[in-house]
C-alpha cells in the first residue's frame, strides 16, 4: 500500500501538533466545568484531529487531511480530520475535550497545557512573528496607532494575529474596524484589492505573498512568540 504523501504545507503543520489526552465523550456540563476529568478513550477508537477555523472547508481539508492520513499510518489508529466552521464551535469542542490531536497556535496550546493537561509533541523551529501591513503606496499610515477607526481585514477573534493587533490599542473607543476574513491569503489579497486599509498576518506568509517586497509595507512587527 502506497504511503500518503505530505505536501510542504502539511509537513510544516506537523511541526506544531499538540497531543491531547485520549478524551472520551463527557457530558457538556461536566466537560465545561472539569474538562481535565474526561475519561481515556479505549485503545483502538478513532482519534479526532482538528485545528482552529483559519479558512474554508475545502482549503483546510486540503491542508490537514494529509496530516490525518500520515498520523493514521504511523500510529496504527484511525485519525479523522474534523473541520470547525467557526470559533464558537471550535472553542466549545476544544474546551470540552472533544479533540484528541490539535494543530494550534501558542496561546491555545498554553491554555490547554495549563487547564487540560495536554502534551506538546512538536513545534515549528523558528519564532512566530506577526506583522501589520498596508499597501506600499499608502503614505498616510506610518504607524499602527493611525489605524484606529480604519477598516482592517483580519480573522475573527480569538485568532492570535487579531488579538496581537488589537492589543496595541488600549483605548476601547479608538480601535480598528475588523472586517472578518478566513485565510491568510484572503487577508493579503483583500488588502491588495483595496477592500481594507491594513491586515495582519504571519511574517512568513507576508514574505511568501509579497516576494518582490513592493506591494506592501510593514507598520508593526510583533515580538517573537
What local confidence, expressed as pLDDT, does residue 112 receive? Answer: 83
> Is the pTM above the cut of 0.85?
no
The highest-confidence range among 38-52, 88-102, 207-221, by mean pLDDT, is: 207-221
Say which residues have a Cβ less than 8 Å from residue 122's Cβ, sequence separation at least 6.
Answer: 14, 15, 16, 17
Of the two residues 53 and 70, the one the predictor is more confident about is 70
Average pLDDT over residues 28-32: 35
What local confidence, expressed as pLDDT, does residue 10 receive? Answer: 39
What tens digit of pLDDT does each residue of 158-174 get?
Answer: 888 999 999 999 998 99
Average pLDDT over residues 4-10: 40
123 Ramachandran zone, left/alpha/beta (phi>0; psi -120 to 50): beta
Average pLDDT over residues 118-135: 87
Q: What is the CATH number of domain 8-120?
A: 3.40.190
Could you tell me the CA-to-CA distances from 127 to 203, 222, 224 in Å, in that order? 10, 11, 5
CB atoms within 10 A of CB 52: 21
What local confidence, expressed as pLDDT, does residue 44 receive? Answer: 61
In this predicted structure, the answer to whether residue 39 has a pLDDT above a threshold of 50 is no
In this predicted structure, the answer to whether residue 40 has a pLDDT above a threshold of 70 is no
What local confidence, expressed as pLDDT, does residue 169 receive? Answer: 97
Band (pLDDT 50/70/90 cuts) for residue 6 is very low
d(Cα 78, Cα 69) in Å, to the nearest integer?
8
Domain definitions of the chain by residue range = 8-120, 130-221
Same fold, 8-120 and 130-221: yes
What tens digit of pLDDT does each residue of 214-223 get?
Answer: 999 999 999 9
Band (pLDDT 50/70/90 cuts) for residue 38 is very low
CB 47 within 8 A of CB 101: yes
Band (pLDDT 50/70/90 cuts) for residue 66 is very high
Say which residues have a Cβ less than 8 Å from residue 2's Cβ, sequence separation at least 6.
Answer: none
Topology given in CATH for the domain delimited by 130-221: D-Maltodextrin-Binding Protein; domain 2 (3.40.190)
What local confidence, expressed as pLDDT, does residue 43 receive? Answer: 52
Share of the chain above pLDDT 90, in %: 50
Amino acid at each position: 500500500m502506497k504511503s500518503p504523501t505530505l505536501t510542504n504545507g502539511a509537513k510544516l503543520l506537523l511541526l506544531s501538533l499538540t497531543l491531547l489526552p485520549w478524551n472520551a465523550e463527557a457530558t457538556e456540563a461536566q466537560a465545561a466545568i472539569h474538562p481535565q476529568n474526561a475519561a481515556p478513550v479505549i485503545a483502538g477508537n478513532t482519534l479526532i484531529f482538528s485545528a482552529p477555523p483559519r479558512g474554508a472547508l475545502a482549503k483546510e481539508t486540503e491542508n490537514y487531511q494529509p496530516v490525518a492520513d500520515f498520523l493514521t499510518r504511523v500510529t496504527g489508529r484511525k485519525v479523522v480530520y474534523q473541520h470547525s466552521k467557526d470559533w464558537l464551535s471550535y472553542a466549545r469542542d476544544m474546551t470540552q475535550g472533544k479533540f484528541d490531536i490539535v494543530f494550534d497556535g501558542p496561546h491555545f496550546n498554553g491554555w490547554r497545557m495549563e487547564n487540560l493537561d495536554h502534551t506538546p509533541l512538536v513545534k515549528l523551529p523558528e519564532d512566530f512573528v506577526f506583522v501589520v501591513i498596508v499597501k506600499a503606496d499608502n503614505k498616510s499610515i506610518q504607524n499602527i496607532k493611525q489605524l484606529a477607526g480604519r477598516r482592517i481585514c483580519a480573522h475573527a477573534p480569538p485568532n492570535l494575529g487579531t488579538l496581537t493587533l488589537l492589543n496595541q490599542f488600549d483605548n476601547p473607543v479608538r480601535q480598528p474596524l475588523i472586517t472578518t476574513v478566513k485565510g491568510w491569503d484572503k487577508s493579503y489579497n483583500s488588502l491588495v484589492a483595496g477592500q481594507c486599509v491594513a491586515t495582519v498576518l504571519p511574517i512568513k506568509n507576508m514574505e511568501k505573498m509579497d516576494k518582490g517586497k513592493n506591494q506592501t509595507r510593514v507598520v508593526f512587527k510583533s515580538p517573537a512568540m
